[in-house]
Amino acid sequence: MLRTDGRANAGFGTADLVTSALQQAARLREAGVFTLMGDTEQGAMQLGLAQCVAAAAGSTCLRLADLAANVLAFAIRLSLCGWREGTTP
């Protein structure tokens, strides 16, 4: 379970911070790491970057503000079993 608002604040090397975050997310996918992204973005200015990071990681992205604890726990269990958004559990 990764939690992020998608706003990159530290990078690797000289790449743009958002580009670097997307590259690192893609490395997780390429390594076969199953992830579930929790979007913590709040407020009037929402950029949707967590969804971009989730897509790069091959992950499902859920808005934490919309989840009850039991739903989040169920989503984590499904993710650990290899479920991806758009597939049948």
The answer to whether residue 87 sits within a structural domain is: no
The answer to whether residue 34 sits within a structural domain is: yes
Q: Are 20 and 13 in contact (CB under 8 A)?
A: yes
Q: Which one is predicted more confidently, 15 or 47?
A: 47
Please tell me the total count of domains within the chain: 1
Residue 3: its pLDDT value, please?
A: 79
Full strand arrangement of the beta sheet holding 36-39? 2-4, 36-39, 60-63
- How far is the C-alpha of 81 from the C-alpha of 51, rounded, in Å? 21
Domain, as residue range, for 40: 2-80
What is the model's pTM?
0.69
For residue 56, pLDDT over 90 is answered with yes
- How far is the C-alpha of 26 from the C-alpha of 12, rounded, in Å? 14
Name the residue with tokens 């009850």.
68
- List, for residues 75-85, the tens digit of each pLDDT value: 778 877 776 66
The answer to whether residue 89 sits within a structural domain is: no
Q: Calculate what percentage of the chain has a pLDDT beyond 90.
A: 12
For residue 61, pLDDT over 70 is answered with yes
